[in-house]
Amino acid sequence: MTATTTDRDHTGDSTGPALPAPRGPLSAGLLAALAAPRMAQSALPDAGEAATADPYGEDLHLALYTLYELHYRGFAGVSDDREWDPALMPLRHALEQRFLGALRTDVPSGRGAGEVFDELLVEPADHRGSVAHHLEHEGELWQLKEYAALRSLYHLKEADPHVWVIPRLSGRAKAGMAAIEYDEFGAGRAENVHARLFADLMADLGLETRYGHYLDEAPAPALAVVNVMTLFGLHRALRGALVGHFACVEVTSSPGSRRLAEAMRRTGAGPAAERFYTEHVEADAVHEQVVRREVIAGLLADEPHLEADVAFGAEATVYLEDQLSAHLLKAWGAGQSTLREGCRNSAV
């Protein structure tokens, strides 16, 4: 495997990644419209087409991811003012409603936030569905590379989707959330920004570190876990779900990070690869306390009617992560790549 590593910190890249390849009629129409001048919108798919799309499928999630990426770094050749292009909003809304509707149908409901998080604090005795457990004990270096490539779609913008909720909180919840995010962004030191640390991890693994580089390789389950946090983050009405999602990630991070750090040590992935996860073992153990005692408790003290949304955000996160885990473990169990057929980069 040939490394194609470039500069490890791409936070200043103003051009954005290239537009991805389409995966169906929704994404094909959208990508054609984005590649065309703003006034040439004839290729843009009708929003009604989203109503029958697979809510967890490749086409819908690539289209939604592409629209959401306009709020982050954008794409090379696509004007920055397309971020809030009114012509794109009906399609984005339809895609969101299709995805969110499926989650509300498929995700367990009726439990309180306390019950949900009490369960998350207990590491399951059965590890058969755990990617981190597999990588710790049996994972091969090529599997770690694939895992890092897929996770790069979030980790190279780690914590960014969660910042959107801060203006929508107050008091204890706002202060707690800001404190955690300060740590995520390196506590004032650019070299310790978690997105930078993940780029260093990728470099140790011989992966390309450019932002968005592995989008074409990422299957729908990998896109969905990123899309859901952007969905929750962009909508003030879903602020409770965003807090639930964020809390779920922080509560469950330390045990998984400990296992992944051991996987990096066992396979000789490199010191930067190991450091990313050891950093999260310690940091997220502290964050777990802050997020439960200050962010969740503070939010529900101010807005108790959001408890069901907090629980939903956590349950939806678990549901989508389980789908991604099943995809990874099924492919690896058969000795196959988890990356999309025909789009596998030679560096992985």
- Given this model, what pLDDT does residue 58 score? 98
Q: Which tokens hold the place of 7?
A: 């500069």
Cβ of 243: how many Cβ atoms within 10 Å?
30
Decide: 298 and 172 in contact? Cβ < 8 Å.
yes
Is the pLDDT at 3 greater than 80, yes or no?
no
- Given this model, what pLDDT does residue 239 score? 98
Mean per-residue pLDDT of the chain: 91
Backbone angles phi, psi at 280, to 5 degrees: -75, -25
Block residue for tokens 């004007």: 79
- Given this model, what pLDDT does residue 13 score? 42
Is the pLDDT at 9 greater than 60, yes or no?
no
> Which has the closest alpha carbon to 287: 200, 183, 207?
183
- Given this model, what pLDDT does residue 29 score? 94
Domain 113-333 is found in CATH 3.40.50.1220: no
Greater model confidence, 41 or 23: 23
Greater model confidence, 235 or 279: 235
> Which has the closest alpha carbon to 173: 285, 314, 302?
302
Decide: 200 and 8 in contact? Cβ < 8 Å.
yes
- pLDDT tens for 130-171 read 999 999 999 999 999 999 999 999 999 999 999 999 999 999
- Given this model, what pLDDT does residue 93 score? 97
Question: For the chain, where do the domains classified as CATH 1.20.910.10 start and end?
Answer: 113-333
Percent of the chain with pLDDT over 90: 81
- pLDDT tens for 281-316 read 877 677 888 999 999 999 999 999 999 999 999 999
- pLDDT tens for 31-73 read 999 998 765 566 789 899 999 999 999 999 999 999 999 999 9
- Given this model, what pLDDT does residue 343 score? 61
- Given this model, what pLDDT does residue 39 score? 57
In which band, very low, low, confident or very high, does the pLDDT at 279 lie, cut at 50, 70 and 90? confident
- Given this model, what pLDDT does residue 42 score? 62
In which band, very low, low, confident or very high, does the pLDDT at 5 lie, cut at 50, 70 and 90? very low
The answer to whether the Cα torsion of 140, 229, 315, 115 is positive or negative is positive
Contacts of 326 (CB under 8 A, 6+ apart): 129, 221
- Given this model, what pLDDT does residue 121 score? 84
Percent of the chain with pLDDT over 70: 92
- Given this model, what pLDDT does residue 7 score? 37
Q: How far is CA 46 from the centre of its chain?
A: 27
In which band, very low, low, confident or very high, does the pLDDT at 8 lie, cut at 50, 70 and 90? very low
- Given this model, what pLDDT does residue 2 score? 37
- Given this model, what pLDDT does residue 345 score? 56
- pLDDT tens for 236-248 read 999 999 999 999 9
